[in-house]
Amino acid sequence: MGVTIEHYLILSAILFVIGAYGVVIRKNLIIVLMSLELMLNSANLAFVAFSKALGDMTGQVFMLMTLTVAAAEVAVGLALVVAIYTHRETLDIDVLKMLKG
Amino acid sequence: MESVFFYIFAAASITGALLVVTHQNPVASVLSLVLTLFSTAVLFVLLLAHFVAAIQILVYAGAIMVLFMFTVMFLNIREESLWFDAQNIRVKLGVLAAILFALGYVASVGLKKGFALKNAATSLPDNFGTVEGVGEVLFRDYLLPFELTSVLIVVAILGVVAIAKKGD
């Protein structure tokens, strides 16, 4: 019995849930960004698994798109982190409430 | 043989993910994330997506993680004394559980309605997952989205420069 697509999808779901848990439970802004990366990575895994199962390389193309979006997101996010830290001296997301109306 | 590699690297990626979320030291979190991304690249190889696996190592585990590590070192963040988010933790986890439950319900209903892979591939093309195959799909069917990605990256670069200048 080999490894089927369901194995990869279950692994992807586990990684996604761990990432979502990290986004909710951590209060350091950098760790929250890293958990977001984890979630994007699990989505990539699902894309590539479906690509293999369907014999269609479109899933891999979408994975490249997701990778680009993740790179742009990380660049902007980390620039914001540095700017916030120089202004407020903290990265605690419970303290950072500047956008709260 | 394939299942042995799958289980080894699936366990490695889950371990890395749990360490990212639970470790108190941000540097250890970054290194655990590298472990997860590297294990995922190995899984991509098992899925015959060799080009994507190489890109995963180069871009994700290489460039993005160096950026994370640089920021962590640059800001000199000390260990969090309380890694729990003390405020509203139950409400947040409850909302998360509700969303996941709803998604699971939708997925199970969808599966019952016969979501099974009808046109599952019996044989793969020769150039599956190589640079040639992926490049052909990318430049033939998805040329416009691919070009628009460059716009996205330019906008991101300009935004980063603007934010960094504002900080001074």
How many contacts does A have with B, using Cβ atoms within 8 A? 211
Record: contact B85-A57, CB cut-off 8 A: no
Q: Which residues pair with A92 in a beta bridge?
A: A28
pTM of the model: 0.87
A56-95 per-residue burial string, b: 16 or more CB within 10 A, e: under 16: bbbbbbbbbbebbebbbbbbbbbbbbbbbbeeeeebebee
- At residue B81, the pLDDT reads 47
Q: What is the pLDDT of residues A33-91, one digit of tens each?
A: 999 999 999 999 999 998 988 888 899 999 999 999 999 999 999 998 888 888 877 77
B144 and B111, same structural domain?
Answer: no
Instruction: Name the residue among A72, A57, A48 with its Cα closest to residue B138.
Output: A57
ipTM of the complex: 0.90
Q: With contacts defined as CB-CB under 8 Å, which chain B residues touch A14?
A: 14, 17
- Given B26, B61, B83, the domain boundary residue is B83
B64 and B97, same structural domain?
Answer: no
Instruction: Name the residue among A77, A49, A52, A71 with its Cα closest to residue B122.
Output: A52
- At residue A4, the pLDDT reads 79
Which CATH number is correct for A5-88, 3.30.2290.10, 3.40.50.150, 1.10.287.3510, 1.10.3720.10? 1.10.287.3510
B121: in domain? no
- At residue B79, the pLDDT reads 58
The ranges assigned to domains in chain A are 5-88
DSSP assignment letter at B47: T
B78 and B93, same structural domain?
Answer: no
- At residue A1, the pLDDT reads 56
